[in-house]
Structure formats: C-alpha cells, structure tokens
Amino acid sequence: MTLGLVCDKCDALSPLGAITCADCGTSLGITREVSRTGSGPAPTSSSASPAHALRRCPACATEVPDGHRFCGNCGTQVDRPEPAAVLPSLGKEKSKGPKTQYFGVMQAPGRAKLILIKGEGLDGVSYVLSATEHLAGRLEGAILFPDDPLLSPRHANFFYREGHLHVRDESSRNGVFVRIAEPKRLPSGGVFSIGEQLLRVEACPAVSGPVCGPDGTYFYGSPRKPSKLQLIQMLAGGEPGLIIRGSGDMIAIGREGNDLNFPEDPFISGRHAQVQAVETQAGIRFQLTDLGSKNGTFLKVDKETALKHGDYVFIGRQLLRVEIT
C-alpha cells in the first residue's frame, strides 16, 4: 500500500514529507512532523507556501494555511463556522405578530350597541347602532319586537347628538325606562318601576280639619296625618291600586319590613328603593334612590335622556343593555 499525503484541494497523493502538492502546488500544511516511527524533525513553518494566509488550529495551535479544512498536525477540523450569537430570550415563546380577527359587523369607535337581556341575565341578540337614528317598536324601525303587546308600533328612538347616544320616547303609550345608578330627582307625577310594580309619586295636599255634615254629624274614618308625599300603584289597564302616604318625608319600598311592601313580587329585593320629599325654591321635589337592589330601579324618561356605557333600558317587556366602544 502506498503511503503519502492527500491534497485538500485536488485530492492528489503526495509522498510523505512533501510540503506542497505535486500536482497543483497547494501547501500540504506540514509545519513539523510528528513521526510515528521516530524520524527526524519536521520542516518549519517557513517552508509553507507564502501565497496562503495562516491561522492556528484551535486544538494544537499549529499554523494551518487558509483554505485547508483540517489541521495537518492533529487532524482537527479548522473550518467550522463560528456559532451564531445567542440573543437574549424575549420570553417563553417567540414574539408573535397580531392575531387575525374574525370578520363581522364593524363597530366604529364611539358607537354603541344594544344587548337584549334574556332570562337569568344572559345576553341575547345584539343591535349595532351604526347609523344616526335607530327606531325601535312593534311594527316600525330596525329594532323590532313584533310579539310584544306592550310596545307601541313606533316606540323609541336611539340616536346620536354631538357624538353622544340618547334615547327619545316617540310618544309611546307605556314609555321608556332607564335604570338609575345614583339618586335622581323627579317632579310630582313622576313614574318609576321596581320589579313588576309601576308606581307614581305625588305631592300630598295640606291636611284640613274634618267637616261635619248638614246635621252636624262628622264622618268616621282613620285619622289623617300630615304627609308630604304619596305613592300610587298603577295597575294593568291604568287604574290605581294601592295608595300610601308617607308618615314623614320618605317612603321605603321593598318586599318586607318597609313602608310599602310587595311580598309576592319575586323581582323585588327585601329593601329595594326609597322616595324622599325635598324642599326646593320651586317647591317640593322628590328624590328616587335605589338601595342596592338586585334588579334595579327604573325611572320613566321625560321625552329624552342621554345614555352611557352600562345603562339598562326597558321598553315594553324588553330589557336592553348599552355598550359603547
């Protein structure tokens, strides 16, 4: 078997001890010989071809001509690419681009939608208010509830004014109600709703003394106490039901333990709301306050009112929640 050195460039076989390839003249990378048989000293590095730059073997520090893949002394590969710099971790996962969103009806910033509330407070159908005006009713408009007999054909209008959402009663028979989030003032004759009860507040006339009949006999009855306000229950069909006068300037309403109780109404809290008479320069006004009830207290809108995010609106038997982006 012939022994020799293989040229890295052309794979030609050169005799042992050769410094350059006999065929192409490329340096064989021999700077000193490590003889396995104990032969003489190896040639010095000055014998290498000056046409090739030199670099050192990472294992034995022997000078290796540029372009050679292996060290001629120890055989270590010297042309391995340097490892890429490791960037600092940005987290457990690589940063991802924006997610693709599902296509649907576009809701412009500042615009609102109405969410129909079903039983147990669950969300139902959504109505996006993307136009200027949005009529709601039993027969007219884009928001229709044809099976609700308490809605007028043209009941309410949800519209924008100066970038803010409002609701207007379109002269409906039963009105538009908005849930109060804080105490609200209302005049004598103001109407509000709690649970299944519709109530009207009125100022009480001054108490006059009893008047005797023509024969001088007085009519017997319960004693009349001075009061500033009274609440009238409005029954289905419009007739008055219970009438209660406050013993002072306030009437508390609830299911039990109040001035006015509705023990059989499952939608009324134990202590639900109160109405208080307030003296003003214009006369007596009334303040309606919700007492943290579960289902809320709803005040009938006088013509129109502004709405904000999270408001609840009752029209007919339909409860709607306002959401504004």
How does pLDDT run across 156-179, given as a tens digit for each residue?
999 999 999 999 999 999 999 999
pLDDT at 198 (0 to 100):
98
Residue 78 belongs to some domain of the structure: yes
Residue 37 belongs to some domain of the structure: yes
pTM, rounded to two decimals: 0.64
pLDDT band at 48 (very low <50, low <70, confident <90, very high): very low
- Strand order across the 250-254 sheet: 184-186, 283-290, 271-280, 250-254, 260-261
Sign, CA dihedral 88-91-93-99, equals negative
- Tokens 């109780």 locate to 261
The answer to whether residues 181 and 253 belong to one domain is yes
Residue 100 belongs to some domain of the structure: no
For 86-122, the pLDDT digits (tens) are 455 554 555 566 666 555 455 556 689 999 998 777 8
Report the alpha-carbon distance of residue 254 to residue 274 in Å, rounded. Answer: 9
Domain that holds residue 118: 107-174+317-325
Give the whole-number percent of the chain exceeding pLDDT 90.
52
> What is the total count of domains within the chain?
3
pLDDT band at 279 (very low <50, low <70, confident <90, very high): confident
pLDDT at 247 (0 to 100):
83
pLDDT band at 13 (very low <50, low <70, confident <90, very high): confident
The answer to whether residues 182 and 290 belong to one domain is yes
Count Cβ neighbours within 10 Å for each residue of 120-157 and write b for 16 or more, e otherwise.
Answer: eeeeeeebbbeeeebbbbbeebebbbeeeebbbebbbb
The answer to whether residues 183 and 292 belong to one domain is yes
pLDDT band at 293 (very low <50, low <70, confident <90, very high): very high
